[in-house]
Amino acid sequence: MIKGVCILMTKKIKKDLMLCFTPLQAFTLGRIIEEEGLAKENIDFFFFSSNRTPLIDHEFAELKVNGGRSYLFSRKPELWDVIKLKMLFVGKSYRDIYLANANSTLVNYVLSFCRFDNIKTFDDGVINVNSPLFYTREYKDDNAIGITIAKKLFKRKYTPRHIIESAVRHYTILKHNEDVNVKCDLTYISLFGQQKHTGHALNKKDECNVFIGSKFNEILKGDDELSLLKEMVVFKFKCDIKYLLDNLGQCIYLPHPRERDSDFLKEYRKESNEISEKVIFKLTREYHKINVYGFSSTCQFNLACNDNIHCIVLDSQFLRDDIRLSSHYLINDGADIINIDQPWAGSVTNKLNLPV
């Protein structure tokens, strides 16, 4: 009997594996760990990053604090990197694997190389597995040379649809999450709930306007990100946004983590090694009200339910249909909407108390 107990005690506990591709995903995984009470020392983290930035380094450092082994891999790997993945995962056995980018070839290889009991998915922003285009859109990093060669050498066991339909649980950041591709149990997770900063209220300024940046080529209709038409629309967007911000008064621009145009809104730009949500929460200590402008940004969804934060959605006929659909969720939570295709008419500016 004692021998049997010793065998059970020495039996290795299966770890969980968490895969992330963005700073927001890293933060989301941290919230899942908190909500589910997971043992941090029993978790392995893999952060697939397109480039090293202060924001990436900050969130990766947070992951390393959270628990077990932590690895930083390139999202556009060389062939040797894919081979290294195979060497790391072959023979490994995990309990649960958490992922958002089911259409990534790298994720597919991780699942193909190792063994596991369950797949658990979570939202990557407001679209991802909630988008009807999810199964058909090619993952943007899969055109890397290393991935192209690896596809000819290593067999993949899964398709994005197979991965999603195999999930036993999906964590969503959308309260009104009705149109999802997953068929498993849904768990709502609040990344930023109701939080108020009451200290030093007398020293607070009235309000501040914040514009959340987007990768314009990725949110517009059309498959070719470098098409002339898209470039023309992006130029128009930037002119419209510049006009808006110039008329807002106190304003801050938080660029998208992959923004490359360092001159765009340079006079309003605020650089930070934290995700936009954290930056805005710190601003609530200085201002009574924060107006958050964006193209149905995930940041807006995460902040929409806070009393001293008001969201304004920017809309356009040139936006992808799934992004325009997402704006309705924000409107249901009290957000206003502006169509930037139209001139800044008095009715619109008056509604938002903007100067005409």
pLDDT digits (tens, 9 = 90+) for 290-343: 999 999 888 888 888 787 899 999 998 888 887 888 888 888 888 999 888 875
Highest mean pLDDT among 56-60, 152-156, 333-337: 333-337
Q: Got the DSSP string for 268-324?
A: TB---SS-HHHHHHHHTTTEEEEEEEESS-HHHHHHTT-TTEEEEEEE-TTB-HHHH
What does the pLDDT average to over 70-80?
Answer: 81
**Which one of 94-98, 169-173, 272-276 scores highest in mean pLDDT?**
94-98
Q: Does pLDDT of 143 surpass 90?
A: no
For the beta carbon of residue 307, count every other beta carbon within 10 angstroms.
10
The whole-angstrom separation of Cα 271 and Cα 55 is 9
CA distance 121 to 135: 15
pLDDT at 313: 93
16-188 and 205-339, same CATH topology: yes
pLDDT for res 195: 53
Give the tokens for residue 266.
């340079």
Judged against a pLDDT cut of 50, whether residue 158 lies above it is answered with: yes
Strands (E), the chain: 15-20, 43-49, 70-74, 93-99, 115-122, 167-172, 185-188, 205-212, 251-254, 287-294, 309-315, 336-339
Six token digits for residue 119: 């797949």
CA quadruple 218, 220, 221, 226: dihedral sign = negative
Decide which of 96 and 263 is more confident: 96
Fold assignment, 16-188: Rossmann fold (3.40.50)
pLDDT confidence band for 352 (50 / 70 / 90)? very low
What average pLDDT does the segment 6-28 reach? 77
Q: In the predicted model, what is the mean pLDDT of the chain? A: 79
Question: Which of 101-115, 185-199, 270-284 has the weakest average pLDDT?
Answer: 185-199
The predicted model gives 8-20 an average pLDDT of 75
Question: Among the listed ranges 187-196, 272-281, 294-303, which one has the minimum average pLDDT value?
Answer: 187-196
Residue type (1 letter), 328: H
State pLDDT tens for residues 107-138: 988 999 999 999 999 987 665 545 545 554 55
- So where are the chain's domains? 16-188, 205-339
Angle of the 54-66 helix axis to the 23-36 helix axis, nearest 10: 20
Residue 346, pLDDT score: 40
**pLDDT at residue 18, as a whole number:** 95
User: Looking at residues 233-252, what average pLDDT do you find?
Assistant: 84
One-letter amino acid at 295 equals F
Q: What CATH class does 205-339 carry?
A: alpha beta
Q: Are 248 and 254 in contact (CB under 8 A)?
A: no
Two tokens at 279? 């930056």
**Token pair of 353, please?**
């108390």
Predicted TM-score (pTM) of this structure: 0.80
pLDDT at 44: 92
Res 3: pLDDT? 47
